[in-house]
Amino acid sequence: MFYIKPAEFVKKMVDAGEQKIFMSSKDTFIRAFMAGAILGLAAVFAITVGVKTEPPLLGAMLFPVGFIMLYLLFPFSTIVGGKFTLYDYLIWNEVPTVIGNLVGGLVFVALPLYFTHVRTALPPHKLIQ
């Protein structure tokens, strides 16, 4: 059976965090773009099945699937301490990550939902009837 000692595990986590900090901005943006898409889809899935399903039991069974998708994304978005400065973290990791998440969520979730659910504009007097 494979086992990693806690001290070795912490060292691997710190090394992984440092690799994420010093990754190129392009690679960080691309990863964040896809993570934003997955995060947006998971959130929409979790909320939609909880609200829109007719049998409440079905929604109760499917909601955890979306929630688990959100929960599993957490380790990919965390960074553990290492040999880098706050400036390195903010400029080379946080900025491309936030921009990538926003663009990924917008392109893969927000815009498709908008274009598939937008209603044609009616004059206000037509809405009352």
Q: Which of 50, 38, 53, 54 is nearest to 107 (CA)?
A: 38
Q: Is 15 helix (H, G, I), strand (E, B) or coil?
A: helix
- What is the mean predicted confidence (pLDDT) over 83-110? 83
Alpha carbon distance 89, 82 (integer Å): 11
Work out the angle between the directed axes of helices 25-52 and 95-105 (0-180°, nearest 10).
Answer: 40
Instruction: List the Cα angle 110/115/117 in 5-degree steps.
Output: 90
End-to-end CA distance of the chain: 70
pLDDT at 19 over 60: yes
Q: What are the tens digits of pLDDT across the range 90-102? A: 787 788 888 998 8
pLDDT at 54 over 70: no
Q: Residue 34, Cα to own-chain centre: how many angstroms?
A: 8
Tell me what pLDDT residue 75 has.
56
Alpha carbon distance 45, 43 (integer Å): 5
pTM here is 0.62
